Structure 1
């Protein structure tokens, strides 16, 4: 039996792709002969993250983390994030001589440079050292793998993502009482998501934003014709997807975008820039339009059949995602 400890700074009540991915890995673990324990912010005091108070930073003490790992006795440790818990866990693993893997979910260098005068090269140097200290770093797409290899990252393994196709599906009812067509965005409402490149577009119908974040107040003031619904989850979120016509993904920095899979499973075509994430998920599937002109992409996506998107979305399963995840961990132990 594999006893896996997953250390993560991203955890409930946060709603994001990291949290969802880890929850699904834990749910699938028994089928792969694994038992999962989490080390999360729930075990520590925390403080608000500068410039992003919705996210709290754990005051993780390396000694406490080290004792927790010893008491848990995992056969392997996976570090999901590069925050305080991730750093303390990395330190403890190196002190104890334990093997660990990491995963690269978020472009922190780009996010930092969008808020603070910190050169991306400095941040990438630190992030590269963090990940290269493990047995392997898991990434979600071929494009991201190529990019990180060019930046000096080593031992990269692929770990794709999945979607709950029972929850996210086309539905007969439309719950949004707004003018059609509906152009939808789901995700954090923050500067790094490049939302204004979507909100400023001259499009028919209605733009709808689902999510919360530090930029929401300012964007609501600036774009009063856009419907901001706040953060939604579960059935409430799934029904909004099913009530929309096109999913617009303006981000230039996401490493994957689980929301793309949720949209496809709901029957929504994608409009996005031709960058990492959309290029890998949509590709040549015919289920989206990727253009540097986001308005052209959004209008052209209206012509894509919803059943084509649904069929393609059904090919992304959490079972396959978990198979890759646990196979990566087994492989690094076998190679040791």
Structure 2
């Protein structure tokens, strides 16, 4: 266990966004403090922002280099972690490079595939850009072994595993009667955006009913296109857990997630998972026990409905946020406070 230190975490993804990155960083920050560390988040809330093109709910910092430099110099961290590849991430990596300060980064999102879903930009170009960006870090943290292998095949180096946990006090089984839709209830929970491949779920011919819990840039479009689907909008806290626990199967149609924190959250609520056998699910789901992975998503759903919810709960509870926060600390690259001058 490392001695307590001052840790700066720079992220372009932060509240009021609700997604896996924000939840991961929030849980990590809370457990870092429990372990005795002093944590300073540098986020878009500290800056003037503008809406991200095609995704206006995401706010990006405007010319943040001076503000990032000031915040880091005032805090004088002994370790710097840069969580995202946006304007704040670029400002922080540029400063670390200029001052020869070590830093770590993380790869939360398959950014090239997300960009390709919205713009006709070759994936190879995006990977080349990201490879150069992360090459400035001492190490880059990734969530799964399959993601590590995929990035190594594209020339990324110095990769290390930092996975995710689940808060069993928040996510737990609850009454199925909370939702009144015809059974079985198949549910997607997460960002409602084209890159999540949600229509692969919405187009399935399934018994019972379908629910989509979450918000995003494509919510209204999909509501109009699929009037038979129940779109609840964004839910948080106990209401989110109640919705999730009331489902019979959690359907995860994404082909581009690096982990899928919602998979663990669904399992903690006693809901088995149906997903494609791709990066994220293949590392998180115990195929045939806590979920079913199949190229035919309908077959995955029908198979998952036969699984024992108790196996899902038991598996999810083995994934502790505290353990993965300790792993996060072990992967940081501390340096002397004297380096700030």
Post-superposition CA distance 1:188-235 (Å, at most 9, x none): 111100011100000011100001111111111111110000011110
* CA positional deviation for 1:32: 3.5
Q: Is contact 1:76-1:98 (8 Å) kept?
A: no
Of 70, 75, 79 in structure 2, the residue corresponding to residue 67 of structure 1 is 70
| 1:285 and 1:312 in contact (8 A); partners too | no
Which of 177, 180, 183 does residue 174 from structure 1 map onto?
A: 177
**Would the aligned equivalents of 2:287 and 2:293 in 1 still touch at CA under 8 Å?**
no
Deviation per residue, 1:255-281 (Å, 9 max, x gap): 001100000000010000000010000
- How far apart, in 2, do the equivalents of 1:242 and 1:211 lie? 15
CA offset at residue 284 of structure 1? 4.2
Partner of 1:53: 56
Deviation at 1:30, TM superposition (A): 3.3
1:269 aligns with one of 272, 276, 289:
272
Determine if the alignment matches structure 1 residue 258 to structure 2 residue 261: yes
For residues 241 and 209 of structure 2, the distance between their equivalents in structure 1, rounded to whole angstroms, comes to: 18
Partner Cα distance (2:286, 2:279) in 1 = 10
- What residue number does 2:168 align with? 165
Q: Does 1:120 align with 2:123?
A: yes
Aligned residue number for residue 281 of structure 1? 284
TM-score, normalised via structure 1 length:
0.96
Select which of 189, 195, 199 maps to 2:198. 195
d(CA) in 2 for partners of 1:321 and 1:226?
36
What are structure 2's unaligned runs of at least 5 residues? Answer: 337-341
Partner of 2:339: none
Q: Secondary structure at the match of 1:157?
A: strand
Which residue pairs with 1:135 in the alignment?
Answer: 138
Post-superposition offset of 1:171: 1.6
Map of 1:89 onto structure 2: 92
2:284 and 2:58 mapped to 1: Cα distance? Answer: 27
Q: Distance in 2 between matches of 1:27 and 1:193?
A: 28
Cα offset, 1:310, TM superposition: 0.7
Inter-partner Cα distance in structure 2 for 1:154 and 1:80:
17
- Please say if 1:318 is aligned against 2:325: no
* Deviation at residue 62 of structure 1 after TM alignment: 1.3
Q: Using the alignment, how far apart are the partners of 1:319 and 1:221 within structure 2? A: 42
Match of 1:301 among 304, 310, 335: 304
Partner of 1:27 in structure 2?
Answer: 30
* Residue equivalent to 1:217: 220
Match of 2:39, SS?
Answer: strand
**Aligned-pair Cα RMSD in Å:** 1.4
Runs of 4+ in 1 over 2 A off after TM superposition: 30-33
